[in-house]
């Protein structure tokens, strides 16, 4: 196969109206059942079944422009903490806006 993603040379002689049927590889028996169990478990997860963390956001703790209430907040799950940390609260723009509000009171 070449770098451009074309078909392998072995396939070029096969007519385009033919269908290639690929058999399951050895060692993959039961993988469909395992997949169904995994997806079923994942779908049934709720906020209540996630592990509780009670972790503070270290980015909030280190940011001098964040309010004290935000620094004291404990996040109940790692998922929520990660979502918060990836959100817009910790962008440089948001930090600059908070810094301006602190330096220039209304």
From first to last of its 106 residues, the chain has per-residue pLDDT tens of: 445 567 777 777 888 888 777 665 655 666 777 778 878 877 776 655 556 778 899 999 999 999 999 999 999 888 888 999 999 999 999 999 988 886 666 6
Q: Which two tokens stand for residue 65?
A: 């422009």
- Give the C-alpha separation, 21 to 17, whole Å: 13
Rounded-to-integer distance, Cα 26 and Cα 92, Å: 52
> What pLDDT shows up at residue 2?
46
Q: What is the pLDDT of residue 48?
A: 59
């Amino acid at each position: 196969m070449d770098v451009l993603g074309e078909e392998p040379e072995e396939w070029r002689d096969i007519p385009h109206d033919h269908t290639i049927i690929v058999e399951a590889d050895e060692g993959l028996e039961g993988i469909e059942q395992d997949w169904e169990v995994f997806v079923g478990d994942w779908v049934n997860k709720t906020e209540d079944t996630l592990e509780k963390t009670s972790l503070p956001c270290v980015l909030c703790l280190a940011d001098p422009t964040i309010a004290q209430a935000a620094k004291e907040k404990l996040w109940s799950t790692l998922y929520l903490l990660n979502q918060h940390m990836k959100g817009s609260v910790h962008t440089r723009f948001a930090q600059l806006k908070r810094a301006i509000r602190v330096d220039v009171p209304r």
